[in-house]
Amino acid sequence: MTTSRHDPASDPSAHVQLRPDLGTLPAYVPGKSWPGALKLASNETSPGPLPSVVGAIAAAAQGVNRYPDNGSIAVREALAERLGVAAEQVAVGCGSVSLCQQLVLATCSPGDEVLFAWRSFEAYPLVTLVAGAVPVRVPLGPGQVHDLDAMLAAITERTRLVMVCNPNNPTGTAVGRRELERFLDAVPSTVLVVLDEAYIEYLRAEDFGAGDLPDGVALGRGRANLLVLRTFSKAYGLAGLRIGYAVGSPEVIATVSKVYIPFSVNSLAQAAALASLDVEAELLERTDAVVAERGRVRDALLAAGYTVPETHANFVWLDLGANAAEFSTRCAEAGVLVRPFAGEGVRVTIGDAYENDQFLAFALSDVATGLARQ
């Protein structure tokens, strides 16, 4: 007698068993690209890498038949020397987003809580849910700034991780050093605070009171429960190569490294990061043009009746409420792509003067200002 075997491939009702909770998880939505349109949707830099950095990338390409340094040792040592910390206090990852997910995996078991302001970086709830943890959103305060007192009040016995994006993405607002110190002193020592400083290079001392310019690495000295995230994607112009880093206590860094995907920081990214650090002063000089342009763009928008909070990053936030999606669509039709957050607002990257003028040509039109005033 022959026993027939069930062939799952022939059974249309058969399904691979996947995590049911992921079925409702929204995907991360990157800024759109559109042939021929100006892209001011993804907080990228308009200028490309400096020639010396491009040369380092080209040279590194000759060796891509070999695996990259899994520990990114040269990059970690260079960053440690620059920041005045030990190499054991630095981890390198595939962009700061990857490090965010590593942090959740390193601190949270299913049901634990990750707390952050909202609206803030949209990857925070996604990486939290992927790890089976619970995202806790705390509304921003007046002026679209982090409400640190409300965040303190929201900490529970299940809180394992607190994310503070400073300057905040997408609103561009920032909290000063003294307020951060007060907050950090009040957070339980068992809770890890992550200060996400992806846009720190666009901060300027004159925008804060004397001694109030925030610097996570300086704040982290003597605080074992503070970890700082930074990236080469923004001011260094390496968004396409995906390399970021974390600075924290050796114990936290060692644990975060245990959930690192091997070889995920490629050879070209490591070479580009090292070359960028060699010409850092020249790269950071380019942020002065962005800062000047963001002031010009914001002033024009305010004069036209828009609500735009003070920004400390390389973008501006337009508080458009229910008109955000329509504004974005009309702007795209005018040839400029911006980033809408439906029902809330629109984030616009500061590009070069020509790109910003193209955006303002639409934003100051009757159609756009009508949406801003409704």
Same structural domain, 150 and 65: yes
| 234 within 8 A of 198, measured Cβ to Cβ | yes
d(CA 83, CA 80): 5
Which pLDDT belongs to residue 61?
Answer: 98
Examine the fold and report which residue of 246, 278, 310 is the final residue of a domain before the chain moves on: 278
- CA distances (Å), origin 122, targets 26, 34, 137, 249, 260: 10, 22, 11, 26, 21
Residues in Cβ contact with 256 at an 8 Å cutoff, skipping those fewer than 6 apart: 91, 99, 102, 103, 106, 227, 246, 248
Count up the domains in the chain and report the number: 2
DSSP state of 5: -
Residue 192 lies in a domain: yes
* Helix axes of 267-278 and 51-61: crossing angle, nearest 10 degrees: 150
d(CA 312, CA 314): 7
| CATH classification of the domain holding 41 | 3.90.1150.10
Residue 326 lies in a domain: yes
CA atoms within a 13 Å half-sphere pointing along the CA-CB vector of 250: 4
Examine the fold and report which residue of 236, 257, 278 is the final residue of a domain before the chain moves on: 278
Domain range for 335 is: 29-48+281-373
Nearest alpha-carbon partner for 161 in 127, 210, 204: 127
pLDDT in tens, the chain (374 residues): 555 565 655 665 567 887 877 777 776 666 666 677 899 999 999 999 999 999 999 999 999 999 999 999 999 999 999 999 999 999 999 999 999 999 999 999 999 999 999 999 999 999 999 999 999 999 999 999 999 999 999 999 999 999 999 999 999 999 999 999 999 999 999 999 999 999 999 999 999 999 999 999 999 999 999 999 999 999 999 999 999 999 999 999 999 999 999 999 999 999 999 999 999 999 999 999 999 999 999 999 999 999 999 999 999 999 999 999 999 999 999 999 999 999 999 999 999 999 999 999 999 999 999 999 87
Same structural domain, 146 and 266: yes
Same structural domain, 164 and 58: yes
The label of the residue with tokens 């962005």 reads 290
Examine the fold and report which residue of 240, 259, 278 is the final residue of a domain before the chain moves on: 278
Which pLDDT belongs to residue 23?
Answer: 76
| Most distant CA atoms of the chain, gap in Å | 89
Residue 304 lies in a domain: yes
* Rg, Å, the chain Cα set: 22
| CATH classification of the domain holding 225 | 3.40.640.10
Q: Which two tokens stand for residue 301?
A: 């928008």
Q: Which two tokens stand for residue 126?
A: 């996604």
d(CA 240, CA 232): 10
* pLDDT tens by residue, 169-221: 999 999 999 999 999 999 999 999 999 999 999 999 999 999 999 999 999 99
Same structural domain, 270 and 285: no
